[in-house]
């Protein structure tokens, strides 16, 4: 089976990646300039207290043993304790992850809805005014500093025109719906809380669009390139010669085939999305992983930073594996080899 | 004479072919630039930024660090084109000087990751065997990770400073160049002229330096140009979240970060440095795209 032959090396790579991240984060947290024991115990701790803290953290043992313990803890889902919130990092991440996923999903949805048609139009009317505009928009998206774009939109839509909220997930005074999935948009609907739903929609528009904009540029560019490839194919000429309507040719013949190479791009776009989310969340005070990690960076909360790095990396690798699988399923040429 | 005769026209025609191909290329470059005005716009932007970097003391109307407490948070005017900040420093001058830190950092990042990556990649390709496999698997692991998250973690661990954030971004960018350089090396290694050189007893280092590197460089340079735009953004973003250049330095990301708290009332403070980031990144991306299109034979016919 072709698919297993492709999947098995990927799974082996995945194993190495997880091990690699663990080595990297372990090295980084042991590379910190300054003594973690002192950071926890505080500046004025006595030598005896420091020694105790060090023993509790296992810092007095050999490095190899420390690493074994670290890996063992990781395998049990223990990412350590945050120095700032004094809670297990894993629990913190569980609290903040849904908000990020919700924002990311909405942004990806917006990016695809805007980017795909723009890319198609750009390719169909190549070198025309529509193409020039679409290319300019997509270059703008790719070159946009996300954090600055967010600030500008907050200034315009929140401060100046006062039509959209500029921070948070819900308006003040609205009680958050009970947590089921952690996605406010879903939870509020499940509980029939339309006030909360509307407020959540209202709050996600700006950050969602900011995060979508950069990815939209990448998607437009990719769709345009692969559409141009496909539109040159013989079967498109045949279809045109048979007198099919242009819309039919573009959407049923060309776009379907142009989408296949774009699936791989989706996996890569998720990396951008993750990084964009960190910045967008900071700007919009969105209570997600991004805000969590930036606050952790500012307070030098290393267990939290490394926990985020591990979870984000593993999630990224897993999603890319799934994307590659989808690619194989979508492309009959690969499926049948 | 009869022995020389046949070689001479051959040599001159080779020379002619060469000059022709150069003039053809120049002509083609001109044709492409005319066909894609966006590339020209990009080139103009990069030129402008270069002028800002080189001639900052001449172009900037004020000393970027000169505090003037009577001129705090002034809106843009004829005297202060971009307005002033919370201690009365001229923002136009600070943005101009900021090009040095921001673009300098981006340039250094690309230079470091490119040099180290090409070195490792060529070495890996020439040596081959288990060493090559080990290096490439390691690169696969790093490539499989979200680069920015890794850079953030690294920069945080090294301690916030412009140099450390540069180092962190450069490190996570290395694998892409390693892969590219290794691929080039592998395909060049089998070329007849390289094999011939080996037959003559050229050392592996000589072959690497004089045969492989010059031929492998052009796709690597394209990659580097395309990278530059992204790296300008990343360097600014790291400064914005406090991992890069620290506040008193004029750096675009740091300027946006300090302007952020004044956004609602003094919009100009964060707006202009951010605009500089956007325009610069756009210039790099436009030129990178242009160069790629020029060198990509697949796109030439279009």
Three-state SS for B236-289 is HHHHHCCCCCCCCCCCHHHHHHHHHHHCCCCHHHHHHHHHHHHHHHHHHHHHHH
Cα(A324)–Cα(A334) distance, integer angstroms: 11
| A174 CA: distance to closest CA in chain B (Å) | 25
Q: Which two tokens stand for residue A33?
A: 């300039």
Helix, strand, coil percentages, rounded to 5, for chain B: 80, 0, 20
Q: Which residue of A has its CA nearest to B275?
A: A148
Mean per-residue pLDDT over chain B, rounded: 82
| A272 CA: distance to closest CA in chain B (Å) | 8
B178 and chain A: CB distance < 8 Å anywhere?
Answer: no
- Whether the predicted model's global pTM rises above the 0.90 cut: no
Residue B18 reports pLDDT greater than 70: no
Binning pLDDT at 50, 70 and 90, where does residue A100 land? very high
B41 and chain A: CB distance < 8 Å anywhere?
Answer: no
| B118 CA: distance to closest CA in chain A (Å) | 22
Q: What percent of chain A is modeled with pLDDT above 70? A: 92
Contact A282 B241 (CB under 8 A): yes
- Residue B82: which of B92, B74, B73, B72 has the closest Cα? B92
A228 vs B150, B274, B302: nearest CB = B302
Contact B157 A139 (CB under 8 A): no
Contact B38 A279 (CB under 8 A): no
Residue B9 reports pLDDT greater than 50: no
Mean per-residue pLDDT over chain A, rounded: 84
pLDDT digits (tens, 9 = 90+) for A288-324: 999 998 888 888 788 888 888 888 888 888 888 888 7
Restricting to B residues 225-244, those with a Cβ less than 8 Å away from any Cβ of A are 229-230, 233, 236-237, 240-243
A313 vs B145, B264, B277: nearest CB = B145
pLDDT digits (tens, 9 = 90+) for B46-99: 999 999 999 888 888 888 888 888 878 788 888 888 888 888 888 899 999 999
- Residue A266: which of A326, A334, A335 has the closest Cα? A326
| A144 CA: distance to closest CA in chain B (Å) | 5
pLDDT digits (tens, 9 = 90+) for A144-180: 999 999 999 999 999 888 888 888 888 877 888 888 8
pLDDT digits (tens, 9 = 90+) for B146-170: 777 788 888 888 888 888 889 989 9
Residue A332 reports pLDDT greater than 80: no
- Residue A328: which of A10, A46, A108 has the closest Cα? A10
A274 vs B140, B141, B146: nearest CB = B146
B233 vs A20, A21, A145: nearest CB = A145
| A130 CA: distance to closest CA in chain B (Å) | 14
pLDDT digits (tens, 9 = 90+) for A42-63: 667 777 877 777 777 666 777 7
Contact B38 A139 (CB under 8 A): yes
Averaged pLDDT for residues B18-35: 67
By CB atoms closer than 10 A (0-12, 13-18, 19+), residue A26 is: middle
């Amino acid at each position: 089976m072709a698919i297993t032959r492709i999947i098995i090396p990927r799974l082996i790579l995945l194993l190495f990646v997880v091990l690699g991240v663990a080595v990297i984060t372990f090295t980084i947290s042991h590379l910190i300039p300054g003594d973690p024991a002192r950071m926890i115990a505080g500046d004025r701790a006595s030598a005896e207290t420091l020694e105790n803290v060090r023993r509790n953290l296992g810092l007095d043992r050999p490095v190899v043993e420390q690493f074994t313990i670290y890996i063992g803890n990781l395998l049990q889902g223990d990412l350590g304790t945050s120095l700032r919130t004094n809670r297990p990092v894993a629990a913190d991440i569980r609290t903040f992850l849904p908000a990020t996923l919700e924002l990311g999903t909405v942004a990806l949805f917006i990016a695809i809805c805007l980017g795909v048609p723009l890319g198609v139009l750009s390719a169909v009317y190549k070198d025309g005014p529509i193409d020039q505009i679409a290319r300019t928009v997509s270059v703008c998206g790719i070159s946009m500093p996300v954090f600055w774009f967010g600030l500008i939109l907050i200034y315009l839509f929140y401060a100046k025109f006062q039509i959209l909220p500029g921070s948070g997930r819900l308006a003040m005074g609205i009680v958050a719906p009970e947590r089921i999935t952690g996605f406010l948009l879903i939870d509020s609907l499940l509980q029939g809380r339309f006030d909360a739903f509307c407020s959540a929609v209202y709050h996600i528009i700006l950050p969602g669009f900011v995060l979508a904009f950069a990815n939209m540029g990448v998607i437009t560019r990719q769709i345009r390139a692969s559409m141009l490839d496909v539109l040159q194919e013989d079967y498109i000429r045949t279809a045109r010669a048979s007198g099919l309507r242009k819309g039919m040719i573009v959407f049923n013949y060309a776009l379907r085939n142009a989408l296949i190479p774009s699936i791989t791009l989706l996996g890569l776009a998720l990396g951008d999305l993750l990084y964009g989310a960190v910045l967008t969340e900071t700007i919009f005070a969105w209570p997600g992983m991004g805000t969590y990690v930036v606050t952790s960076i500012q307070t030098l909360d290393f267990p939290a930073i490394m926990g985020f790095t591990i979870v984000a990396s593993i999630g990224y690798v897993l999603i890319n594996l799934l994307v590659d699988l989808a690619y194989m399923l979508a492309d009959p040429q690969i499926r049948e080899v | 004479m009869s022995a020389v005769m046949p070689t001479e026209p051959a040599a001159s025609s080779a020379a002619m072919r060469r000059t022709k191909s150069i003039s053809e290329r120049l002509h083609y470059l001109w044709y492409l630039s005319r066909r894609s005005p966006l590339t020209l716009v990009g080139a103009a932007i990069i030129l402008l930024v270069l002028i800002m970097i080189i001639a900052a003391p001449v172009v900037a109307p004020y000393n970027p660090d000169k505090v003037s407490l009577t001129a705090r948070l002034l809106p843009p005017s004829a005297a202060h084109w971009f307005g002033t900040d919370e201690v009365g420093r001229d923002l136009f001058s600070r943005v101009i000087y900021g090009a040095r830190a921001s673009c300098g950092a981006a340039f250094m990042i690309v230079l470091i990751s490119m040099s180290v990556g090409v070195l490792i990649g060529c070495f890996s390709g020439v040596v081959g065997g288990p060493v090559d496999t080990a290096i490439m698997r390691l690169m696969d692991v790093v490539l499989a990770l979200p680069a920015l998250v890794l850079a953030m973690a690294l920069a945080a661990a090294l301690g916030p400073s412009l140099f450390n954030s540069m180092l962190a971004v450069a490190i996570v960018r290395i694998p892409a160049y390693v892969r590219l350089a290794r691929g080039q090396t592998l395909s060049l290694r089998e070329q007849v002229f390289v094999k011939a050189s080996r037959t003559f007893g050229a050392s592996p280092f000589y072959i690497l330096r004089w045969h492989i590197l010059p031929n492998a460089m052009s796709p690597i340079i394209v990659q580097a140009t395309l990278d530059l735009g992204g790296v300008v953004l990343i360097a600014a973003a790291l400064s914005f979240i406090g991992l890069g250049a620290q506040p008193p330095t004029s750096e675009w990301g740091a300027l946006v970060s300090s302007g952020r708290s004044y956004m609602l009332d003094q919009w100009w403070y964060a707006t202009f440095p951010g605009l500089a980031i956007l325009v610069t990144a756009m210039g790099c991306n436009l030129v990178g795209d242009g160069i790629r299109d020029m060198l990509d034979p697949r796109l030439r016919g279009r």
